[in-house]
Structure formats: C-alpha cells, structure tokens
Amino acid sequence: MNRFKFPLRLLFVFLLAACGRATEPPPPTPPVAFSVPPPPGLPVPTATQPPVTPTIPAATPAGFTGQPIAVDAGDPLGPASAIGDFVGIQGPPNTVDWDDPDVWVVEAWRNLGLSAAEVALFREDDDYSVVVTRNAQGKIDLDFTRFDKFLGYLLNALGARQVRFSTIFVPRALSSKPDDPGYPYYSPKDYKEWADVVTQTVTHLQDKWGLTRQSFQTWTEPETYRYWRGHSRKKDDPKLLQDFVEHYVNTWRAIKAADPTAKVGGPMTIYSDNGVVNQPWGFEDFVRELAAYNTAHPDAPVTLDEAVWQDYDWAGSGRLAGGAAKAREALAKYSFPADTPLIVVGWNTDKFNYPKCGNVSLPYHASFAAASIIHELSSGSTRDVTQAYWWPFEYDWGCAGLGLVTYPVSEFTVTDPTGANEPFTIPTVTEYCKRPAYAAFEMLKAMEAGKFVGLALPAGSTLEAMAVRDDSAHHVIAIVANHAGADQAATLTFNHLPFGAEAVTGTLQQIDKTHSADCKGLEAGTRSRIAVSGGAVEVTLSLPAYSVAQITLEP
C-alpha cells in the first residue's frame, strides 16, 4: 500500500487491487458518459481505466482509518446551483455604512454572492427604508430617495443575488398609536391608506428596478408581542392573532394588486411549533386562522405562497430543518398545498445551549451551518427546506474579548441601553474578520457551479457529506462536516474520476480550532500530487469535533 502522508492530518491512500476487502468486489461497471463534453485535451474514461463500483464495504478493510464514504464522481445527479438557496443572510448588511461603502465589506459580500432576506420597506429606525409622511393637507407622501440609493448599493455594489422584502413595520404616519414609543408595532389606523402605501411601493419596485415575482413577508415574530400589538391588545389577548390575520390579508391584497405574480409569505414566527418555544400562539395557529378566513370568504380567498419561520435549533435536532416536519403537518392539516415552499428566514445554532467560550465556539457555528446545508442537499436526503437565510450572530464575542459595537444601521437585537450590539460576522466591518462560519459558506460557494454526484455514508453516521463534479472547472469536490462533540475520521473513495489521468492534485481545506481561524476566511489549504490506482483515489481525513473539511481533486 503506497501512502503519501500530509501535514494537517491528511492521508491520501492509493487503492490497489488487493485492498483486503472481506469479499471480492463486483465486476467493473462501464464508464459513465460525461454530462457535458469534456474540455479540450481531457480524455474520456475508457475500458482500460476501469472504475471501481462505489459500494461501502461490509467491514472496514485494511488500510482504511475512518468511516468509509464512497463518492461516484461519474454519476451526475443534477445541478448544484441549489446551494445558492442557502447562501444568504437575514436582514440587509446591517454592519456596513452603505452611504460610504467599505471596500473590505464589498469584497466579502461579493465573494459569497449573498442573498438578503427581510429587507424592511417601512422600518423607520433604519436609515434606508421608504419615508412615509403626512403632508399639510393630510395626504400621505412617499419618498424613495434613500431607499433607492440603498437598494442600488445592495444589488449593484454588493451583488446580492436575491432580495426578499418585508412590509415591517407601520410608519408613524399610518399607525393607530402614533404617539406611543412602540407605534410601529400597532395595526394601521386606516387599512385603505396602508394598502395604498404598500401598493405604491411594490409598483415602484417594478417601475424603477424591474423587480417582479418578488417574495414579501408581512411581518416578523408577530406572536412574541414584542413586534405586534394589533389593535392595542394586551399580550395574552387571543384577538392579537385575529388582528394579525387581518393585517396579513390586507397586506396580501395590496401586494397582489400591484404585482399578481408576487409571492406573499408568513407568518414569520420564531419557530414552526409554538409548543417548543412556548409563545402565546404560533405557526399552526396562524395557518388555522387563515384557513378559517378563507372558508368564511370563499369568493375572495388569500394564499400562503410561502410558509416562513425562524429556527435556532429549538428542538435540538442539530440541523437546520428541525421545524420542517411540523410546518408540513400544519399546512396539510388545514388543506394548504403540499408543495408550499418552506422558507427559514433566520437560523443559527441555539444561542442558549451551544458552547459559547473557548476555541470550540467559533468552529461550532461553521460546522452547524455546513452540516445543516449539506443535510438538506446531499444525495439520498429529502430536501425539507426550500431556502434559508442565516442570522449571523456569534455569541462568543465576550469570550473573544470583543466589546459591544454601535452600527451605522439599527439592529433587530439591542443588547445595551446605549444601542450597542454584539458583533455580527457574515461579515462585519467592525472587526474586519472573516470568521469560521464565513469560511463554511466559502466552501459551499465553491461547489455551486458543479453538479451533484453520488455519495454514500455508512448507516448511522453522524457525519454529513456531499460531492460535486464540475466539468468546466475540471475538478471534483467533496465536503465533510463533523458537528458531533467527538473527533472522527473518514476515508473517502473517489470512483469514476473523469480525468483519465494517472495522477491528480488534491487540495485540502479545513475549518476547526486552528484552521480558517485567523480572520482571513477559508485557508488556502495543502496541495499534493497523488497517483490514481484502479481508477480511484482514497482520501482519509481526521475530523475534530465541530469541524469541516473540503477536498478538491483536479488533474
């Protein structure tokens, strides 16, 4: 057995004919055709380079030092562009001054091609929203000047691939409680005026920016009382829910009046199961009441185009989609379409339970993000969530010696009476630091242009892994995430390599306590030239607790 030992605990192992399998492998399968024509000079695999059938051995054979993972690099399963559905953040770039663009932040955003969700149209304590005022004649005026400047920055300078808008909150000029400090959280005084403002704003998005078929959410966390008080209700008043359904219906009609192709979603509760977070009402309650409204108004029903909620691993699943099953159950129970898109706007680890201090807390965010997204997209998994947008807190800031900071733009979470907040990190200009979670998104972004290929993990494995093949870039990439609390090892066997070469170059990049931990984002990694034996290559990785590793093979 020829071995090449690498630094950073990487081991490439040549797969020889006699590798000690418990049983003889099945006969070689025919070469798999390229999904696209190979680049000039790239030989197509032939019968003289027989691939190895990617089966997981019944027993760990000699030479293997980790869980066996089989990668069938010749079996394209579909475009990996779906990765882009998970490379986004909740909210606009709150940590940057868009009026005076910072070169570092612009580069960091464009590097990932981030999408932005919950970009508020009427949030008056932000400095980018639509300005809504009442003139001396008592009429409502709209000023889009600063909003247009901000949206241009978001779309053009930062290159946001998608923007999801939110109609939060109620401007003072429209609020039923304009003199209350919490005026944005009350129902509009006149829903006709509210509808006119919403319709004009959606029309402006079309006329000025050519934005149609956009996604809108009508509120955020309405069940918490913090952001929704309806018609001046008390916190425990059950009519708060009815007030919110009224608001959803009126907002839905206003948006659709301007753009019938727009997608309107909700309820944007903090979870899909209020029994877990113990709120007065929750996702299913909203779905029930919306269904009841439609039953009472059969000639003018409203739709729930997208089911939207937040998820901070409240149920302890260790993955993003812990609430998807509950959401589907509620939608089915009240006869909403089975194919209703499920959108998680705001997700991250459970801020109350994860390791906050010590070196482990930084890679913990990265491994959670990577493992969750891989779980949603890897071959053999049923995709539970349609899109997801990361809420980029990292609550280790105090342990890391970082102080609270005051951003140019208001934040959703105020942790200090002065208005200062914890540093946000995907990315934040206040630290000029691309921390491990950012590096995890860099890994995933590198795979987006390829096509998913077959990958098989052992039954019961706590690792998450997926692989892509990109014929235009001439490489195969596999990513493995260990979001378990124990060190693990994995041996990847790459079969049906499309290169037709006698050797490949392997590049290993890692995220853990010591890798991609210097505020520069994803490390460059280590490279070496490796021989191909029997049409296959083995790569053995050591995966510390809460870590991610990515291996790229190219001729």
Residue 83 identity: I
Q: Which of 447, 477, 506 is the last residue of a domain?
A: 447
Handedness of CA 322, 438, 211, 220 (dihedral sign): positive
User: What's the start-to-end Cα distance of the chain, in Å?
Assistant: 22
Shared domain for 204 and 342, answered yes or no, is: yes
Helix/strand/coil (H/E/C) assignment for every residue in 138-177:
CCEEEECHHHHHHHHHHHHHCCCCCEEEECCCCCCCCECC
**Which pLDDT belongs to residue 11?**
38
Domain boundary among 422, 447, 472: 447
CATH of the domain at 25: 2.60.40.1180
Quick one: 40 and 122 in the same domain?
no
Do 223 and 143 share a domain, yes or no? yes
Q: What is d(CA 393, CA 405) in angstroms, rounded to the nearest whole number?
A: 13
Q: Which residues of the chain have pLDDT under 70?
A: 1-65, 94-97, 351-360, 379-382, 394-431
Question: Tokens representing 328?
Answer: 């589907």
The answer to whether the CB of 200 falls within 8 A of the CB of 142 is yes
d(CA 118, CA 104): 23
Beta-carbon contacts of residue 520 (< 8 Å; ≥ 6 apart): 434
Coil, strand or helix at 207: helix
Residues 410 and 505 in one domain: no
Q: What is the pLDDT of residue 39?
A: 28
Are residues 334 and 397 located together in one domain of the fold? yes
Query: Do residue 150 and residue 256 come from a single domain?
Result: yes
The residue out of 423, 447, 471 marking a domain boundary is 447
d(CA 103, CA 82): 28
DSSP state of 437: H
Q: Which of 454, 278, 309 is nearest to 384 (CA)?
A: 309
Are both 76 and 96 inside the same structural domain?
A: no
Sign of dihedral through CA atoms 96, 101, 105, 109? positive
Q: Are residues 188 and 256 in the same domain?
A: yes
CATH of the domain at 170: 3.20.20.80
For residues 240 and 254, is the Cβ–Cβ distance under 8 A? no
76 is in which domain, residue-wise?
3-81+450-554
In this structure, the answer to whether residues 330 and 406 fall within a common structural domain is yes
pTM of the full structure = 0.84
**What confidence score (pLDDT) does residue 352 get?**
64
Tokens 């890391």: give the residue: 400
Q: How many separate domains does the chain show?
A: 2
Do 187 and 301 have their domain in common?
yes
Based on the fold, state whether residues 108 and 176 are members of the same structural domain. Answer: yes
Are 98 and 161 contained in the same domain? Answer: yes
Query: 3-state SS string over 311-359?
Result: ECCCCCCCCHHHHHHHHHHHHHHCCCCCCCCEEEEEECCCCCCCCCCCC
